[in-house]
Structure 1
C-alpha cells in the first residue's frame, strides 16, 4: 500500500541494440515508451506521452530530466526457475498422486537460507502474497484428521515450491495457508514474478491438485489469493531464551491479508500499488472490483479508498 509517495513504472520497448565494445561486453540499447500503453501527444504546449492506463501525462522534458538519474545504476534481472508454469504443474502430478496414495514422501534438505537474516530493522520494498484454502473447516469435518492433515500438507508443500520457483520466500505458514514475500533489489521484476507465481498456483489447483483429489473421491480444494506491495520493516519478536520469530511489519502485509479476505472462491485480487508497477501484460489482465461499503483502507497519497483489482485468467 502506498505511503507518501507514488511509485510508477514505465514500460519500454527496444528499438535497436548496438555492440559498443565486444571485449568488455558493452552494448548501447535504444528504447522508447511502449506505444501499446503510451500515446504521444501535445498537452499545454508540451510534447510527451499519455499513459492510457494510469491517465498520467509525461512531458518529454520530464523524461529527459529523469535519464541522468539512471547513470551508473545497476540493472537487476530475476529470471524464474521454470520455463513454463503449466509444464511445471504437469511435472508434479506423479508426486501428488503417489503422495495421496501414501507411496511417496518427498523429503529434501532445506537449501534456502533465510533472506531476512541480518536485516533486523531494515526497511525493504516487497510484494506480499497471501493464500489460504476456502472451505477448509468443512473439509476438516468431512475427512479423517489424518487425511485432512495430509491434504493440507500437500497443498502447502506445492505452494511453497511454486513460491521458490518465482524467486519468492515463504514468510510463514498460517494453518491452512501461507504468506510469501518477493523482495528488492529488483522490485519491478518481483512484482511481475509475484503475479506469475499467483497464476501458477491457480494452475496447480486446476490441473494437478484437484484432478488427483477428484479421482480418489476427495473434495476439491479452492483458494483465495491477496497481493499487495510497499515498504516493510524486518523485526524479530519474542524473548531469545524462549522463542523468537522474524517477521515483516508494514501496511502491505496486513492489506494483502485484507485483500485475500475480499476474494471469492478461486480468485486472485491485487492491490493498486502492485498493479501500477506491473508489466503491460498484467495490466491487460486486471479489472477493478467494486469495494464493499465497509472497506476502511485508503490510499495515503490520494486520500481515496485503496483500489483493488481482480487478476483474470
Structure 2
C-alpha cells in the first residue's frame, strides 16, 4: 500500500500557520478547540500511519487531552443544547472469537481513539468510551446550525477514515473490515456530578438527546448514519437533501417527539 509510508504528503490547515505533519500530529491536536479544516486525504494518511504502527510496532497513542472533563466540571448542573453522536463498532463479538486477544485489544482501542480524533477535529467533545462504542457531543447553545453541520461532517468523516484509512491496513493482515453504526440527536442536556468532590467525582451528561441518540444508533445498519428530526431541521437545505426520512415497518420505532407527541422522525444519510 503506497500511501502508508508517505507522511510528507499530509498537511493540516487551521487559522494559524501549521508546520509539516509528523507521526503524532493528531495526538497533538486532540482536545484543542480551535476551528480546524482537515482534508480527507490528511485524515486517511495519518490514520494509516498510526494503525500500521500500532499493529506492527506497538505504537501507542499519547492520549486525548480531556477537554470534555474540564468543560463538564466547569459547568456542573448547567444545561446546554447539544448534538449527541453515538458511534458503535459492528461485529466485535465475532472479532473476539476470531482474533488473538492482543491484536483485538489494539484494533478496538485504536478504532476508539481514531473516532475520538475525528470528533475533536470537527469541534466536538469526546464524552466517553463504552465498550466498543464512542460517545461524542457538540455544544449547540450558541450556534445550533454550525453544531449540526459539524456533527454531520464528523459522522461522514468517520466512515471515510474507517473505510479508506483503517480497513486497508487491517486487510493486509487478513483481519476483517470494521463497520460502524452512527446515530445522532439534538436536545438539552444537564451536566451532572456524582459526588461532592469537585476534582475527582465522576461527571456526565443527562438528557433526552443522550437516550434517543443511543436508540437511533441501535436501529442503524452497518455503515449507516441516522439522525433525529431535531438535527435534520437545523441543517442547511443542501445538506437536508442528502438525507431521506425512514418509513418504519412493523412498529420497530415507537419513540415520540418530545414536542409534538407524534412518532419522532428519523432520517438516513444517502449521500
Q: Same fold (TM over 0.5)?
A: yes
Q: Determine if contact 2:226/2:268 at 8 Å carries over to the other structure.
A: yes
Q: How does 1:210-225 map to 2 (within 5 A)?
A: 210-225=167-182
Which deviates further from its counterpart, 207-216 or 289-298?
289-298
SS of residue paired to 2:37: coil
Deviation string for 1:263-288 (max 9, x for gaps)?
00110100000000012232010011
Q: CA deviation at 1:83?
A: 3.4
Q: Which residue of 2 aligns with 1:48?
A: none
Q: Which residue of 2 aligns with 1:246?
A: 203
Q: Which residue of 1 aligns with 2:129?
A: 173
Q: Which residue of 1 aligns with 2:56?
A: 101
Q: Distance in 2 between matches of 1:109 and 1:191?
A: 23
Q: Out of 233, 236, 242, which is 2:190 matched to?
A: 233
Q: Which residue of 1 aligns with 2:158?
A: 201
Q: CA deviation at 1:311?
A: 1.2
Q: Determine if contact 1:82/1:88 at 8 Å carries over to the other structure.
A: no
SS of residue paired to 1:116: helix
Q: CA deviation at 1:111?
A: 6.7
The structure richer in strand per residue is 1
Q: Determine if contact 2:47/2:166 at 8 Å carries over to the other structure.
A: no
Q: Out of 23, 26, 45, which is 1:90 matched to?
A: 45
Paired residues, number: 236
Q: Determine if contact 1:86/1:203 at 8 Å carries over to the other structure.
A: no
Q: How does 1:234-313 map to 2 (within 5 A)?
A: 234-238=191-195, 240=197, 244-292=201-249, 293-313=251-271
Q: Does 1:188 align with 2:164?
A: no
Q: Distance in 2 between matches of 1:270 and 1:110?
A: 28
Q: Which residue of 1 aligns with 2:22?
A: none
Q: How does 1:6-25 map to 2 (within 5 A)?
A: none
Superposition misfits of 4+ residues, deviation over 3 angstroms: 238-241
Alignment CA distance shift 1:81-1:100 (3 Å): same
Using the size of structure 1 for normalisation, the TM-score is: 0.71
Alignment CA distance shift 1:155-1:109 (3 Å): closer
The structure richer in helix per residue is 2
Q: Which residue of 2 aligns with 1:47?
A: none
Unaligned runs of 5+ in 2: 1-32
Q: Which residue of 2 aligns with 1:65?
A: none
Q: Distance in 1 between matches of 2:105 and 2:63?
A: 20
Q: CA deviation at 1:109?
A: 7.2
Q: Distance in 1 between matches of 2:219 and 2:52?
A: 32
Q: Which residue of 1 aligns with 2:115?
A: 159
Instruction: Tell which structure's C-alpha radius of gyration is larger.
Output: 1
Q: CA deviation at 1:146?
A: 1.1
Deviation string for 1:209-262 (max 9, x for gaps)?
111101111111110000001111111124649x73211111110000000000
Q: Which residue of 2 aligns with 1:141?
A: 97
